[in-house]
Amino acid sequence: MWLKNWLTKRKQKYNDLCFIKQLKDRNIYLIYPFVISKRENLVISNNVYIGPNAWIILRANGKLRIDEGVIIGPRLKCLVANHNYEDNMLPYSSEYIVKDIWIEKNVWIGTDVTILPGVHIGEGAIIGACAVVTKNIPPCAIAVGNPCQVIKYRDKEKYLVCKDSGKIYMKHPNNDHSYKHIIKY
């Protein structure tokens, strides 16, 4: 039994590392360890960083879309489905209520953030550490808390100047953000 468990874990780690290697060619850094169910439902653009211990659960046909230039801190939790508690079964039915999640360009998500089904995070938004995102976040908003609420907005003119001049962290030539020492091949 121990051999079967050991082999299963080794195979999973091998699959994870092959997945990471495919992403690396597109300047996508998904730091190990992580859990992603239904990887075919995950759409990631180029120049994305996802910190260690990400937990992305894509049930049924739910999708997670992450646009270019997104930086996500450690321990992200992302769920695209929820149980139906209003059905004729207790505590809930076996059917899922599925709603996709979309994270637009140049979003910064802090440590220990939970994103719940159906959320759309607008371009250039910042989500503070330990936030629980239950509703849509507008572009350039700075949002924190449980539940996550907008507390202020970024300077949109400054944001657009940085964006238009190519000063995007994951693409900028002056940033040596080579995470190769973190990724274990």
Report the chain's mean pLDDT, rounded to a whole number. 84
Contacts of 65 (CB under 8 A, 6+ apart): 43, 100, 101, 102, 103
Question: In the chain, what percentage of residues exceed pLDDT 70?
Answer: 78
Q: Taking residues 115-135, what's their average pLDDT?
A: 98
pLDDT digits (tens, 9 = 90+) for 71-116: 999 999 999 999 888 888 899 888 889 999 999 999 999 999 999 9
- Flag the least confident range among 28-42, 64-78, 145-159: 28-42
- pLDDT attached to residue 79: 95
Residue 5 has what pLDDT? Answer: 56
How far are the Cα atoms of 12, 14, 107, 111, 138 from residue 115, in angstroms, in the given order? Answer: 25, 28, 13, 12, 15
pLDDT tens-digit map of 4-13: 554 455 555 5
For residue 25, is pLDDT > 70? no
CA distance 20 to 183: 8
Which domains does the chain possess? 2-173 (2.160.10.10)
Residue count (the chain): 185
Catalytically active residues are: 83
More confident residue, 59 or 169: 59
- The reported pLDDT for the residue numbered 10 is 55
CA-to-CA distance for 113 and 27, rounded, in angstroms? 23
122, pLDDT greater than 70: yes
